[in-house]
Structure 1
Amino acid sequence: MANVNIKLIKSVIGSLPKQRKTVEALGLSKVGQVVEKPDNAQIRGMIERVKHLVEVVEA
């Protein structure tokens, strides 16, 4: 299965609590941090919810 790299490019300060929890669930805590997650529907849905805060790089 393919993986996807997710990078936090914007701070969660001022974002909604639901969006903060989504970013935390993705494993991101600091701006500039990159995590590798499996490319599945659940992760894609989480990325879609916080697409203004993260950048996606297909691996």
Structure 2
Amino acid sequence: MARVRITQIRSTIKRPQTQKNAIKSLGLGKINRSVEVEFNDAMKGAINKVQHLVRVEEI
């Protein structure tokens, strides 16, 4: 599977709880924090839910 780097670029303040949970499940929580994960269906769904809060780069 491909690996991607996900960086949080916007805050979760005043966001629905489901989006906050998606950010936590991705391993993020603070602005400019990055994680590298395998790009599978579960990650794709979480990324789609918070695509306006994160930046995704293929490694």
User: TM-score w.r.t. structure 1 length?
Assistant: 0.95
Moved over 3 A (4+): none
Q: Cα RMSD between the aligned structures?
A: 0.6
Looking at structure 2, the residues matched to 7 and 30 of structure 1 have their Cα atoms a distance apart, in angstroms, of: 9
Identity of aligned residues (%): 39
User: TM-score w.r.t. structure 2 length?
Assistant: 0.95
What residue ranges of structure 1 are gaps of 5+ in the alignment? Answer: none
Question: How do residues 48-59 of structure 1 correspond to structure 2 at under 5 angstroms?
Answer: 48-59=48-59
Match of 2:4 in 1: 4
Aligned residue-pair number: 59
Question: How do residues 1-59 of structure 1 correspond to structure 2 at under 5 angstroms?
Answer: 1-59=1-59
